[in-house]
Amino acid sequence: MSGNILVKNMTFKYPSMISPLFNNVSVNIHEDWKLGLIGRNGRGKTTLLKILLDQLEYEGTVISSLEFKYFPRYPDLDDCLTAEEVLLKESPMTERWEMELELSYMDLSPEILDRSFHVLSGGEQTKILLIGLFLNDDSFPLIDEPTNNLDVHGRKVVGEFLNRKKGFIVISHDQHFLNHFVDHVLAINKESVDVLKGNIETWQFEKKNAENLAEETNQKLFNEINRLETVSKRVGTWGQKRENSTKDAAGRRLAAKQMKRSKAIKKRTEEKIRDKQNLIHNVEEVADLAMQVEQPHKQILLLRNFSILQVGKPLFEPINVDVYPGDRFFITGKNGVGKSTLLNFIIGNGKFEITGDYHIRLPDKLSVLHQKNQLDEDYATILDDLTAKEKESYLHLLRQLGFQRSSFADRSSKNWSAGEQKKVFLAHALLGNHSLFIWDEVTNYLDMLIIEQLIDAIERHEPTMVGVDHNEHFVESIATKKVELRREV
């Protein structure tokens, strides 16, 4: 169909790169697919969307008659627009009843259309912008990380909304969210870009089978390479000994001939070795992630009939909580109910009016990964604050998280993806011995393999944790205790 997206022999690299990010890539995407675009951090997912939007120069061809629309694209702060005006900018002919119908699918009330867009919560803004993408039937949405401002309920609602639609590409690392709607997966792998029919579970099953087969093939290749290297050394040694052992002219001529033959055999063998090495398959390597854990000795947290007051009223219904050494305690609830506020209270960030009883005993060795950290620091400032020994351990952690050594020299980190920048803070939060890990939205922007790597490390090292996270798979995998905050009625 003319509306499809045809990418043919496309190659792209940023100026600072040695090797191309994409090399001779060819894919054909149907205009009706609900496509999940996945891949490790830094593999080029957002870059691929920018190429489709014709924002970057590349070699090869990208052919499509579709009108691409990108998310997120927020209105200017200077534009005092209502939510309805934001939607009308996307589709001027849309009537209000049509907007209200879409709002009902997003669990939003009609009155939100009359409110200023910029006073809406992050989750509400996300939903309005996503609705705007689909008001025009001629557009093909390119949706980049829509879940970052959505709680668990919001992700479910948006997933169901997207399942009603067709013809779009979504980048996300939340497999539970993607499984609500995707019918095709485009995976940017280590050495290839592949399209698969099915959802994330289908992709994981096929990927596991492919990697098991690749591991078997790789082992055979490694064995063959070792055999060829042994042959090469033996032939070279034999030829050298033969040439050195003969003394008469005729013998030397024969030895020289045999030496030439042995060099030819050695050259052909080395060429075979290189060919075999080039066949080594597309297996993702994920290291065991190091966590240095010291368990605290006493109870961390006690809350009894507790709530935080806002303008004299409880922010959430009173809760009762006990956190002991070895517990992994997660705070859940809808956006705006006070999850991060409660986390700040526990850490001691700010002054709060409260109701109920509490006792907090935080150990000295804290690992705090908070959204505020990520506004005040970057890779360069973190490096500057580390000793030489700490820097060595920090860079090793980054390597375990999948960073290439070549990235370390780029102190500006300007070409790094959001996921790579998140790893900068995660590695810092893992540096050193800790008795308590207090992490706020650690999984935002991290790819699926890193999330699995984190789950595995936490299950192995069993740290004491207090956290907030909207990735349902992550929380269900590691939490030993949860409390759901509910808004006080």
The pLDDT tens digits for 228-277 are 667 666 655 655 565 566 556 666 666 666 666 666 665 666 666 555 55
pLDDT of 430-443, one tens digit each? Answer: 999 999 999 999 99
pLDDT in tens, 343-386: 999 999 889 999 999 999 999 999 999 875 555 678 888 888 89
Instruction: Name the pairing type of β-strands 22-29 and 5-12.
Output: antiparallel
pLDDT at residue 214, rounded to an integer: 63
Q: CB of 303 within 8 A of CB of 358? A: yes
> Which contacts qualify for 21-26: CB closer than 8 Å, 24 or more apart?
21/47, 22/47, 22/48, 22/58, 22/193, 24/60, 25/60, 25/193
Tokens of 211: 């990697």
Q: What is the pLDDT of residue 354?
A: 95
The pLDDT of residue 12 is 95
Place of tokens 């995407």: 29
User: Predicted confidence band at 417 (pLDDT cuts at 50, 70, 90)?
Assistant: confident
Q: What is the pLDDT of residues 168-211, one digit of tens each?
A: 999 999 999 999 999 999 999 888 899 999 999 888 888 777 66
Query: Is pLDDT above 60 for 2?
Result: no
pLDDT of residue 266: 59
48-55 mean pLDDT: 96
Residue 1 scores a pLDDT above 60: no
Mean pLDDT of 384-413: 83
pLDDT band (50, 70, 90) for residue 78: confident
Identify the DSSP state of 82.
B
pLDDT, average across residues 104-116: 95
CA 88 to CA 247: how far, in whole Å?
A: 95
Tell me, which fold does domain 5-190 have in CATH? Answer: Rossmann fold (3.40.50)
Going by C-beta distance under 8 Å and a sequence separation of 6 or more, which residues neighbour residue 419?
40, 41, 42, 173, 445, 446, 447, 450
How high is the pLDDT of residue 116? 94
Strands 366-369 and 433-434: unpaired
User: How much is the pLDDT for 488?
Assistant: 75
DSSP state of 164: T
Which pLDDT score, from 0 to 100, does residue 190 have? 82
Residue 414 has a pLDDT of 65
pTM score above 0.85: no
pLDDT digits (tens, 9 = 90+) for 452-482: 999 999 999 999 999 999 999 999 999 999 9
Question: Does the domain spanning 292-485 belong to CATH 3.40.120.10?
Answer: no
Better-predicted residue by pLDDT, 264 or 326:
326
Crossing angle of helices 83-90 and 96-105, in 10° steps, is 110
CB atoms within 10 A of CB 392: 10
The answer to whether residues 34 and 183 touch, using CB atoms and an 8 Å cutoff, is yes
Residue 63 confidence class, pLDDT cut points 50, 70, 90 = very high
For the ranges 250-254, 313-317, 319-323, 430-434, the lowest mean pLDDT is seen at: 250-254
Structure tokens at 449: 């393999």
Residues 6+ apart with CB under 8 A from 8: 26, 60, 61, 62, 63
